Chains A and B, each alone.
Chain A
Amino acid sequence: RKEVEQDPGPFNVPEGATVAFNCTYSNSASQSFFWYRQDCRKEPKLLMSVYSSGNEDGRFTAQLNRASQYISLLIRDSKLSDSATYLCVVGNYGQNFVFGPGTRLSVLP
């Protein structure tokens, strides 16, 4: 089993839709959690850090469930500009950052 797994995708959704991504991690000692977006052939850019209590930034909401070891990202009112690959990243104290394989989102007009 991979250490960090994500929905395989791709997700094709119409503009204005709500879309949710899930990510599971296997190391119960993981300490930090992030969502990144990556546009084609560009560097990944931080979208959100994920906090235990959940956090929201505009149309984006991230949740962490430590008991079930998963994090989620909800995008409301999808825009064409949201089309990208979304990466789940987990930081393990004293070890390494681990990336999920990414989930591709295409928002269609």
Chain B
Amino acid sequence: EAQVTQNPRYLITVTGKKLTVTCSQNMNHEYMSWYRQDPGLGLRQIYYSMNVEATDKGDVPEGYKVSRKEKRNFPLILESPSPNQTSLYFCASSSYPGQGKTPLHFGNGTRLTVT
């Protein structure tokens, strides 16, 4: 089954404790992206990647890191989480944007709470 898998689904952590949210896709997609969503706000892009070793900042990259060493994986790293990073996070993947009609496929989301 074609899917984007995020882990964990729920995470509660403390300020300053480094964490990684994993994202993996099995569709051989070039494009992957991370978003956060806060109550009353739309999706805001954190980072995206057009292919292996190619990452770019989105709208709200501060406090986050990503890497794309393999095509299928795009982990989101919070080196020193703070309470303002408490949010719902989504990973998504697709073929090259604008190429054909391949839409974005989303993971189920990760609810992160930083205390």
Contact = CB atoms under 8 A, between A and B. Distances in A.
Given A42-B109, A43-B109, A89-B104, A94 B42 contact: no
Interface string A30-42: 1110101000011
A93 B97 contact: yes
A92 interface: yes
Interface in B26-68: 31, 33, 42-43, 45, 48, 56, 58
Interface in B77-103: 88, 90, 92, 94, 96-103
Interface stretch (A65-73, A74-82, A95-103): A95-103
B13 interface: no
Contacts of B109: 41-43
B107 interface: yes
Interface residues of B, number: 26
B74 to A, nearest CB: 14
Contacts of B88: 41
Nearest to B108: A43
Contacts of A44: 43, 90, 104, 106
A55 B58 CA distance: 31
A105 B42 CA distance: 15
A17 interface: no
Contacts of B92: 97
12 contacts: A43-B109, A44-B43, A44-B90, A44-B106, A91-B98, A91-B99, A92-B97, A95-B98, A96-B56, A97-B31, A97-B97, A102-B42
Interface of A: 30-32, 34, 36, 41-46, 49, 51, 87, 89, 91-97, 99-102
